[in-house]
Chain A
Amino acid sequence: MTTGTTVARSHEARSYLDRVGAALADLPEEERADLLDELGTHVDEIAAEGTSSLESRLGTPEAYAAELRAAAGLPPARARGRAVVEALARLRAHRRRPAMTGPEEFLRSIRPAWWVLRAWVVVALLTWYAQPHWLQSLVVVPDVGPDGLSILALLAAVVASVQLGRRELRTATATWLIAWLNVVAALGLWPVLLTLNEAVHYGAYNDYGPRLARNPELPREGVFASGRQVTNLFAYDATGRALSDVRIYDQKGRPLDIGVAVEAREVTVDADGRAVPNAYPYRYFEPSVSGVAPAAAGSASMVVPPLLGVPTGSPAPTASATPSPSPTGGKR
């Protein structure tokens, strides 16, 4: 400590340590760091003796690592000696590790994912009940205010969680915090995922407030009124009389087909033999009867008063009842 001889490690020593470290790469990080720490002091001392090169004194780093493993009762990486063979073996062992060495190693290998996940779960939990529409507020980036702030908060939480996971902070408080963080996140994971799933799937269809306006609408078939699908249209004339087989066109002259329950509708055909999908009201087959429901089914009890200021008894001119089939003709 007082002399600088061993503080500045030579390039040779550093590269030797690195190579031993690489040969021990499959060990748990804590164990590996411990072994390398001790080897570091060892190498420094040998370097201080300054008699010969590290390799001539200790053997190749790979051989050293293999000997260390054998003596310490650690699993061998693979065939000892040849650097290339060992590197390949290490690579293979590394790739095979999750499946081959049991659930403990597998869990260890996905720990970083858990660090990120628990940060997200904790932020989600914190923001969850704070929102008026909490079901909707739980989105991929938990809402803590403006969008930018939400993302920053989430990133900060992820960084903090990962640092805790890597044990960058070793204080007693940190250990205590980690334990609670894990418990809270583990307990919160399932409800948070369920709620998020629900929000993602059904959020756009619910009337939970202004947030919904931000969600992109899915393209929909058919006609909607106040968010509910229209299954039939009933037309009444000025006198309040229900009309049947009224053909309706949209702003471009296309037949308006509300597109529901096509197989349950009676097919209307025009004089040319073409199916008419826009003659309203639809006549639906009753679910249990093979016949067809009356044209005004569902509105039988409805009374529509006549309009004011319209001459009664004389319906609109018949010309308007047959809409022009071409959009250009309909244009004025």
Chain B
Amino acid sequence: MDTSQLLKGVLDVAVLAVLDQEDGYGYDVVRRLRSAGLDEVGDASVYGTLRRLYSAGALTSYVVPSDEGPHRKYYGINKQGKATLAESGKTWLAFADTMSGLLATPSRSEGRR
């Protein structure tokens, strides 16, 4: 199955989750998502998602001068973002649970819990 289709629905949650660990700039978020296993995540999708979440008020943003290159625009999660993450996280876990049940692979969903 094409993971990129699945990714579309959960990229918001994934980005929020990554930023919940630590603030990051665009490319940094891309790398962390990939190293977490979301290999197919597109750079543009991550940048676009960051922008949309920021516009929606779920993220804060600040510019940090960098020694080795251009100034970077960092994003951090705020209270609203955390609330969204908690809410979406719950939805996702319930959904994953349901899917796991349907696919009869209970071991994985139990592992998550």
Interface, chain A (partner B; CB < 8 A): 1-3, 5-6, 34-35, 37-42, 44-46, 48, 58-59, 63-65, 67-74
Contact = CB atoms under 8 A, between A and B. Distances in A.
Residue of A1, A67, A71 most packed against chain B (CB within 10 A): A71
Interface stretch (B60-68, B92-100, B103-111): B60-68
A35 to B, nearest CB: 7
B49 A3 contact: no
Contacts of A44: 69-70
A1 B65 contact: yes
A42 B69 contact: no
B69 A6 contact: yes
Interface in B53-95: 55, 65-73
Contacts of B68: 2-3, 5-6, 48
Nearest to A31: B51
B26 A38 contact: yes
Given A38-B26, A39-B47, A72 B67 contact: no
B70 A6 contact: yes
A45 B66 CA distance: 12
A40 B66 CA distance: 14
A67 B69 contact: no
Contacts of A70: 45, 48
8 contacts: A35-B51, A41-B73, A42-B27, A42-B47, A44-B69, A48-B69, A59-B42, A74-B48
A3 B69 contact: yes
A246 B3 CA distance: 106
B47 A71 contact: yes
B2 to A, nearest CB: 15
A33 to B, nearest CB: 13
Contacts of B46: 71
A6 B70 CA distance: 7
A72 B43 contact: no
A65 B42 CA distance: 11
Given A1-B65, A2-B67, A45-B27, A71 B72 contact: no
Pick from B51, B55, B73 the residue with the most CB of A within 10 Å.
B51
Contacts of A42: 26-27, 43, 47
B59 to A, nearest CB: 13
B69 A38 contact: no
A37 B70 CA distance: 10
Interface centre among A34, A35, A38, A39 (most CB of B within 10 A): A38
Interface residues on B, range: 20 to 34
A152 B34 CA distance: 60
Contacts of A5: 68-69
A48 B42 CA distance: 19
A2 B68 CA distance: 6
Nearest to B25: A41
Contacts of A1: 65-67, 69-71
Contact of A67 (B44, B66, B72): B44
Nearest to A41: B70
User: Which of B43, B49, B55, B72 has its CB near the most chain A CB atoms (within 10 A)?
Assistant: B43
B91 to A, nearest CB: 19
Query: Which of B42, B48, B55 has the most A CB atoms < 10 Å from its CB?
Result: B48
A72 B46 CA distance: 9
Contacts of B38: none
Given A1-B66, A42-B26, A64 B71 contact: no
Contact of A68 (B11, B47, B72): B47
Nearest to B12: A71
A63 B48 CA distance: 13
A46 B73 CA distance: 16
B32 interface: no
Interface string B21-49: 00001110000000000000011111111
B69 A71 contact: no
Given A38-B26, A42-B27, A71 B45 contact: yes
Nearest to A49: B27
A65 B65 CA distance: 26
Contacts of A35: 47, 51
